[in-house]
Chain A
Amino acid sequence: MTQMILTKALYTVISLAVITNYALILIGTMARIRAKVQGRVGQPFYQPYIDIVKSNAKRTSISHGVMFFLGPVFRLAGGLGTYLFIPAIFGSVIFSNFSFSGDLLLMMYFIFFGQLGMALGAGESGHPHSAIGVARGLAQMTAFELPFVLSVVALAAQYGTLSITEIVAAQQGGFTHWAAFTNPLAMIAGMIAFLGMSGANPFSVVVAPQEIPIGPPTEMQSSFLGMLQTNRAIFNGAKMVLFMNLFWGGAAHENLLVAILIMVVKTFLIYLYVTIVGASFPRFKTEQSIRFFLGVPTVIGIAAVVLQMV
């Protein structure tokens, strides 16, 4: 028993280390790529590490209260948990994480865990801009949730299961088996929702730096900010892995390193897609993005579901 727990703990640490470092490097690299596109040198690819170290190296921090203090903890816990409830690499024991605790529904609801904690922390900071950011973020979240849910339901209907592992298993055997190609409508709705989920342009009104300085984390600093930066990497990684699993066949290979490579490539492409869209469009207002998500993507999602029903 003890040995089992220790093994699991070790696997968890490995899995988390891989995803954290990968996601941090991915963020740094993507920033550098963006800089290159703009004709700049750009920050070093390891800049996210420096920033996190710097934030944690602050000598003082202020706390507005218990929830403020715990907010980033909740947030990071949400990110970690979300990742840990997803089997990152199909068929790998090390990367199966804690996916035995629950299925897709658990994962979808666990996303709220971090949001809620962060929102509470931001709320206790007493800063109106934090609250405004949270209000916007939550509103936008419910909006993109609808197409996302529709696409997930379409997938569940298609494969007759809510287990992520089984969904990935059903997509094995060549890229034509990927949900992206067997259920393109669901994929489209889901990938549009993913834009909202990642909070990049045009759905970045939550943090709108010019208007409501940085939104929810306006008051967050020092180690708190460091945790949020860490979470940003992990949570992003988790979401990309999830979408990779749902629509893009997951990462599966008998050789673990090849499987990781597959994951790296796929998530990189997913992130690139977000970056490209983000670089190409201006920011929506909150009500605009709500209307957007409840418009075309929702209709596509409904179409995907209806296709499964008939």
Chain B
Amino acid sequence: MVSPVVLIAASLGFAFLYPLVERLGERAATRIALLVLAAFAGTTAGWTVSLIGSGVALTADTAGFVAPLSIQLQVTAVDALAMTVVTLLALAALVQLTERATDRWHGKQVVLFFVLLLGSYGLIMTRDLFNVFVFMEISGISVFGLLSTSRDGRVFEAGFKYMVASGLASVFFLIGTAFVYRSVGSLSIADITAAAPVALASPVGVMGLLFLVTGILIELKPAPANGWAIDTYQAADPGIGALLSAVNATAMVFVLVRVMPILAGASPVFVPLVLIAGAGAFLIPQAQALLQESFKRMLGYSSVAQIGLVVLAIVIPAAGVPFAGVALAVPLVLLLNHAVAKATLFWIADATGDDASGFGGSLPASLRGRPALLVVAAIAVLALLGLPPFPGFWAKWSLVMGLAAGGHIGLLVVVLLGSLLEVVYLGRWLIMRMRHVDDDATVVSQRIPADFAESRADAVSGAASGASDASGAAAGAIPVGATVSLGLATLLMAGASVAALLGSGVGMPVLIVLIGVAAFAVLDVLRIPLRLQAIVAIAGLSWWGVSAVSGAALTLQSGFVLLFVGGAVVQLVALLARPGRRAGLVALIVGMVLSLAALTAATSPLEVFVAWELMTLTSFFLVVRGRFAAAASVRYLTFSLASALLMLAAFSLATAANPAFGTGGGVIGTLTTSVPWAAVLLALSVLIKLGAIGLHIWLPSSYAEAEDEVSSLASSVLSKAGILLLFLGAGSFAAPLFAGVALNQVLGWIGVITALAGGMMALFQEDIKYTLAYSSMSQLGYMVLAFALMSHLGWVTALYLAVNHLLFKGMLFLAVAGIVMRTGTRLMYQMGGLIKRMPFSFVSVLVGIIAVSGVPPLAGFGGKWLLYTALIEQGWYLQAALALFSSGIAFLYLFRLIHSMFLGQRKTHHDTVTEAPAAVLIPQFVFLVIIIAISMFPNLLIKPLQTIVEPAFASSVRWEGYTVISSLGYWNGNAVMYVVIGVFLAPLLWLLAVKGRTYRVEQFNIVFAAERPHTPQSTHYAYNFYGHYQKAFGRLLDPWVERFWSGVSATAGTVSQTLRAWNTGNPQTYALQILLYLFLTYLVARGGL
């Protein structure tokens, strides 16, 4: 095996030789440099393989002595792995760097680059304290040198600050080293570690170690003493930034890893000290990054934050499922995940030349129309956010589990909060890059032209244009070098992800999600048209769904699989109406459906969470495709991931209390926890996903601004995930929480208020998709209410409502999709009179709204009957009354919907509108037939649902023929249907018999106070249809929730503003901050003043 010394020597040697090599010509020299790097990579990879196999470390002593006299270099498997990744990233970085370098700097840059590499290797391998200092300085000097090659003139200022700070850090480190040496008499880390409990436990020793660790921490750029580092990231060329973040920082972390045993041995104060430092370093920059206007600076904040997280992970023994038992696996994976992702992002900033960040319509949509780059960027961002299937996810999971298991609740909060902030700014960046060029990223509610003018262009939904046509962003060619670097990094990430995924122990369903997405992504790459993809997806999903449930008994799991897969398959037919290609659409839909299915099949909390996250991600990328969905998808991502993080917290708390938590899977009550807080967090998480009142502000715009087919899927299928989770966690909610009030009672009230508020808000929407979105919110409220009853009838109702909602909301959204497709507007008052042009759509909407509003004889009434019976049975009288009231409200907005679109006056320019395409109609009529069937024969649906609920509750209703009888009342859907047919036919026949000659006249042939109507626009009563309702309720209808969240957002902004003002840009301030940091560590170590 190659000795570690060789690597150091080779780096140094090559750096010195490079000027000679350069004489061979620039290209040749670059190639040789790359070859050398490749050889390094081969070496380190070789080490990794053999060391993992053997499990021992590779040691080399220099200068012919043995330790402690000599400087010892040592490589463990972890080190080797890190070095491999660092080398590979360096390889990628070199490609990128040499291409971007100016002539003036070219050769020198390579030399400095190799010196930096040398320093990094050294930092990782050395086991000598002073040698650490040397390598630190070597890295530092090479970084300063590299910095000065940047194009941005401000880099000197930044570099100067860096030098001051790094100089101070060196001083601390040296002082510390000196103290340690004085106390121990050796510089070998192994010796010091051994001697630490005795020799360094004295105040002097601790003082020395304090200097030492502060020096190391400063080098790790911990907030709040890291302004200089941020400035550097901002000013440096992105390539250099990538090196700094990926290579240098990674190596520095290893110093801490080396020193940690010494610290831990010397004094118990150091572990909390480093934990606090790590927590601060993680949380503060996340907050500071919120308002950044420079992407590089934002990445800088993110980098330092990530290192903070790694520092935390180094200290906390992780107890989660993945990588259990492998020492340092969590920090290492976090670190490497960060290194690769961050380098990628820096290179993307370089490739697109786009250094803007923040949120606003003027920002460039620089990734639009560059699918490959977008995928790479998305992977990097997701990996950085610690989302599955990227390695960081598993590490974060373990870390959080470890935190909970260790009882570090405060740190848990810090990690989750920091992660959420990171989601906000990184997600925002990604969304702004990939948004449609027309989108000014302000759309979170309906848009109505100020003059009520008919303007087609304005209101055309995203669906009308699609993603593929958008190429407004000037897509300059990406340099070859960047392509190679990004490709390499992405491959690295992909490989790591696959490895981590396979090692994580998650089951097949989760893997199938990824395989599905990947398969359809391949179809996209092969430029297969959308229709073909849709057919493949329909066939595949049908086959998969059938094979998943065939033969299985009807349980919650198979029931929901049927619901998810069946609902999605039917709606996928609508995609056949869209010609051309839509990159990613089918892949993401398939991914979403499969992840929903995976959710049902999950057998451990980890699997549940992975499936949940995958569902969130796929749906997020579906939502963001909408033409004006930027602002909406920011909300969607933020709230969805907040929900996920809450769930993570809940799971970690529950697992900490009960290691057997959540194993089993797919049955009611799997996720039952007896920890009250875990139950509350779980409920909150689900409530966010269900758009419960107060947490709903993401829902309307996300559903409405997504593409039309996506809206339909999201509203009808996706929204049921929350319901599934409620059932999975069912047992958690019944236990009394405080003052004898159980969580389910709170849930019930939240449910009914959501139902009412959603309906109220739907009343006043002009935009049809917003109406339906709010309607979904309201309907989900009903489901929560029914579920919260915790009774047999309640649960049957919840499931019944879920099925019913899937059917009618799918129908309505698809019908609306067809109408929007044909009329080119989403504003209801711009439609009207379409019944004659689109009769089939009308029938579908009519049946849909009858089903929603619960008017007998259609199936909706079954849901209402069950609901009120269940509510009154449980003594929830007021809830029952409120639910009935909101069902009246539902009737109102639904009538408005059908009236404004189909009845009233048809606009002259809609005279030639044709019926929606068959592909859009077919799924609607499939649903319609199902609705009619279960209306005629309610037992077809209710009985299976009873079977599903049976394991939890004994049946409380009985059947007599078609009559379902509860303790309160009865309902015979079949008889009602016949009576209705009877009472309908009798008057109809009478009318046909007695009516005189009937003339079919047009809509303008109305009595109009002896005038004639002027134009259809001025005759169609649709705008502000329920103005009087608004008037009656007055201030009650003010957007309180919106205001609250705006307040939260503004507060976060203020906090961020305040925090970032700390980084004044003055090196002297920074120096002072570093001194204060030292003082602070001293205070923490002392345990206060």
Contacts and interface: CB of A to CB of B under 8 A. Distances in A.
A binds B: yes
Interface of A: 56, 58-67, 69-70, 72-74, 76-77, 80-81, 84-85, 98, 100-106, 108-110, 112-113, 115-116, 119-120, 123-129, 131-132, 134-136, 138-139, 141-143, 145-146, 149-150, 153-154, 156-157, 160-163, 213, 218-219, 222-224, 226-227, 285-288, 290-291, 294, 301-302, 305-306, 308-309
Question: Which of the listed residues A126, A142, A223 has the most CB atoms from chain B within 10 Å of its own CB?
Answer: A126
Given A58-B996, A109-B861, A227-B991, A119 B850 contact: no
A309 B875 contact: yes
B995 A124 contact: no
Contact of A67 (B835, B865, B1019, B1020): B835
Given A60-B999, A98-B979, A101-B975, A135 B1026 contact: yes
Contact of A62 (B904, B976, B999): B999
Nearest to A80: B983
Interface in B296-327: none
B855 interface: yes
Contacts of B875: 157, 309
23 contacts: A64-B1006, A67-B835, A67-B903, A69-B998, A74-B984, A102-B865, A103-B969, A106-B856, A106-B861, A112-B855, A116-B855, A126-B833, A126-B903, A128-B1019, A131-B899, A131-B1025, A135-B896, A135-B1028, A138-B891, A149-B885, A153-B884, A163-B969, A290-B1032
A81 B979 contact: yes
Interface residues of B, number: 79
Interface in B267-296: none
Given A135-B1025, A162-B872, A222-B995, A119 B979 contact: no
A138 B869 CA distance: 25
Given A124-B903, A157-B872, A227-B987, A102 B877 contact: no
A59 B976 contact: no
B1022 interface: yes
Given A123-B899, A162-B968, A309-B877, A139 B892 contact: yes
B995 to A, nearest CB: 4
Contacts of B881: 146, 149-150, 153, 301-302, 305
Given A67-B835, A157-B872, A106 B991 contact: no
Nearest to A140: B1028
Nearest to B836: A65
B63 interface: no
Given A62-B1001, A70-B988, A145 B888 contact: yes
B856 A73 contact: no
A125 to B, nearest CB: 6
B971 interface: yes
Given A116-B850, A125-B1006, A223-B994, A134 B895 contact: yes
A281 to B, nearest CB: 18
B878 A102 contact: no
Nearest to A103: B969
Contacts of A58: 996
B880 to A, nearest CB: 5
Contact of B991 (A73, A105, A294): A73
Nearest to A205: B1028
Contacts of B1004: 126
A160 B968 contact: yes
A202 to B, nearest CB: 15
Given A84-B979, A100-B972, A223-B995, A149 B903 contact: no
Contacts of B884: 108, 145-146, 149, 153
Interface string B901-914: 01111000000000
B980 A77 contact: yes
A150 B888 CA distance: 13
A113 B988 CA distance: 15
A125 B979 CA distance: 28
A219 B1006 contact: yes
Nearest to A110: B856
A123 B895 CA distance: 10
A65 B898 CA distance: 15
B888 A162 contact: no
Given A128-B1020, A163-B969, A105 B865 contact: yes
A162 B903 contact: no
Contacts of A125: 1003, 1006
Interface in B536-570: none
Contact of A65 (B835, B850, B853): B835
B1035 interface: no
Contact of A120 (B898, B970, B984, B1025): B898
B1021 A128 contact: yes
A100 B1001 contact: no
B969 A287 contact: no
B699 to A, nearest CB: 23
Contacts of B963: 100
B1032 A291 contact: yes
B979 A101 contact: yes
A73 B1019 contact: no
A253 to B, nearest CB: 26
B1044 interface: no
Among A64, A150, A156, A160, the one with the most B-chain Cβ atoms within 10 Å of its Cβ is A64
Contacts of A146: 881, 884-885, 888
A286 B301 CA distance: 57
Nearest to B1028: A286
